[in-house]
Amino acid sequence: NASLLGILQHPDGTVLKQLQPPPRGPREQEFYNKVYDSDCCDSILLELREYLPKYFGVWSPPTAPNDKYLKLEDVTRKFNKPCIMDVKIGQKSYDPYASAEKIQQQVSKYPLMEEIGFLVLGMRVYHVSSDSYETQNQHYGRSLTKETVKDGISKFFHNGYCLRKDAIAASIQKIEKILEWFEGQKQLNFYASSLLFVYEGSCQATTVRLSDVTLAEKRGVPKGLLSGRDILEYNNNIHVINSTENGKIEASVSKGLSKFYALHKKAYSKRHHSQLSLKVETLEQDNVWKSSTCITQEHLNGNVIPQLEKVFCHMPAEIKESANVEVRMIDFAHVFPSNTKDEGYIYGLKNLITVLQNILDN
C-alpha cells in the first residue's frame, strides 16, 4: 500500500520520507522546495517554515539513485520519551481534483470528517507507571464520534497517572499560531495534511544543556560515543539507516510501515550512563543551577541520571515551562495554489482547539 510509507531515521538527526508515486510525491517535493527556496521573500511562506519540519532537500541512496526521499528534521529527536499523535486536518480529505471514486473512498473511510474537521490517524503515549508505550492506529481514530472524540483525544495526554494539562495548554497555544497563519493567507489550500503533536512523556526535563552534552540530544550518551557502526536497534516500525565504514549509507524500507512521521526510539542502553561525566564547574556557571543546591562531583559520578532527575524535578516552573511540546504541519501531497482562505482547514483547527479546551476545562 503506497500510503503506508516507511520513515527512515538517519544517524544525523533527520528522517527520510520516501517520495510517493506521482503526482503526490512530486507535489510534496515542490511544496517543500517552494517554501524553503533560499530566494523566498514571501513573508507568508517564511512564517510557514516555523510550523513545518525543517527541510534538507531530496536524498537518494548511492546504491539506488532513482529512489528519492525527502530529508526532514526529526521533530521527535530532542525528546526522551516522545508521545506522538498524528491528526489529519480539514473537512475534506480528498483534493479538488479527486475522481468520484476517490471521493467516495475517502468519505467512506471517515464520514464524520466534514462535521468534526479532523481525524486522529494514530498515537503513541508513554505510560509512566508501566514505563511502556501504548499505541493506537487509524482504526482507533475512525471509531471516534462527535460524542467520544473528546475522550479519544484526551487519551493522548494521559500518562497513566494524570492528565498532562501543561501539554494540552501548550498544544492549544501552538495550534492558535497556526490558525492565525491560516486566517492571514489566501495562496495555499491543504487537503489530507496532518498536524504532528509531540510532547515529553518522561518527568525528567530533557532540554537543559549540560556543558556540551544535551541529555535529550543523545539520551544521555556523550558525543562521539556511538560510532557509525554502533547504531542501536530501534522499534520495528522504523528501519535505522546504517552508516557503513566507507561512509556510504544503506537504506532499507520495510513494507507496510505505519504512516507515522517517526515513532519513539528506545532509550540508549543503561551502560552508557556511567560513562557520562559532567564538569561541575560548567554546571555551576549555568543559570539553571543557581536555583538548585550545589551538586558535588561524587554525587554526579556513578549515578548521574537519577541525580539529575531529582534536580530537574525541583526546577522552578519558568525553567521547566511548557515548551516541551511540538506541533508541526506534515504531509503535503495534496497542497494546491488557491485564491481563497482554506476554510476547511480553519474549521478543523478551530474545532480541535475547542475539543482541547473542553478537555482542559473539565
Whether the CB-CB separation of 352 and 175 falls below 8 Å is answered with yes
Segments of the chain assigned E as strands: 7-9, 14-18, 55-59, 69-73, 82-89, 118-127, 132-136, 188-190, 193-200, 209-210, 213-214, 242-243, 249-250, 325-330, 335-337
Q: Residue 310: CB partners within 8 Å, gap ≥ 6?
A: none
Do the beta carbons of residue 219 and residue 267 sit within 8 Å? yes
DSSP string, 143-164: T--TTTHHHHHHGGGB-SS-B-
What integer pLDDT is reported at residue 222 of this predicted model? 40
Contact between residue 122 and residue 196 where contact means Cβ atoms under 8 Å apart: no
Contact of 78 with 217, CB cutoff 8 Å = yes
Tell how strand 249-250 and strand 242-243 pair up: antiparallel
Side chain identity at residue 285, one-letter code? Q
With H, G, I as helix, E, B as strand and everything else as coil, classify residue 291: coil
Among candidate residues 221, 195, 196, the one with its CA nearest the CA of residue 206: 221
CA distance 69 to 108: 30
**pLDDT < 70: residue spans in the chain:** 1-5, 204-323
CA atoms within 13 A on the CB side of 151: 7
Residues in Cβ contact with 198 at an 8 Å cutoff, skipping those fewer than 6 apart: 75, 76, 79, 82, 83, 84, 325, 326, 327
Q: Could you tell me the sign of the dihedral formed by the alpha carbons of 7, 230, 325, 178, in that order? A: negative
Cα–Cα distance, 275 to 93 (Å, whole number): 49
Could you check whether the bond before residue 23 is cis, i.e. omega within 30 degrees of 0? Answer: yes
- Supply the pLDDT for residue 203: 82
Write down the pLDDT at residue 7.
Answer: 86
Burial of residue 209, with CB atoms counted within 10 A of its CB: 0-12 exposed, 13-18 middle, 19 or more buried: middle
Extract the C-alpha cell encoding 158: 494521559
The model's pLDDT over 230-261, given as tens digits with 9 standing for 90+, comes to 333 333 333 444 444 334 444 433 332 333 43
Residue bearing cell 510525491 = 25
Cα separation, 182 vs 168, in Å, equals 21
Task: Give the closest residue to 169 by CA, choosing from 346, 327, 315, 351.
Answer: 327
Cell 507535489 appears where?
27
pTM of the entire predicted model: 0.71
CA distance 176 to 157: 18
| pLDDT reported for residue 137 | 96
Q: How many CB atoms lie within 10 A of CB 172?
A: 19
**3-state SS class at 96:** coil
Q: What are the beta bridge partners of residue 250?
A: 242
The letter for the amino acid at 179 is L
Q: What gap in Å lies between CA 222 and CA 226, rounded to an integer?
A: 8
Question: What is d(CA 193, CA 300) in angstroms, rounded to the nearest whole number?
Answer: 46
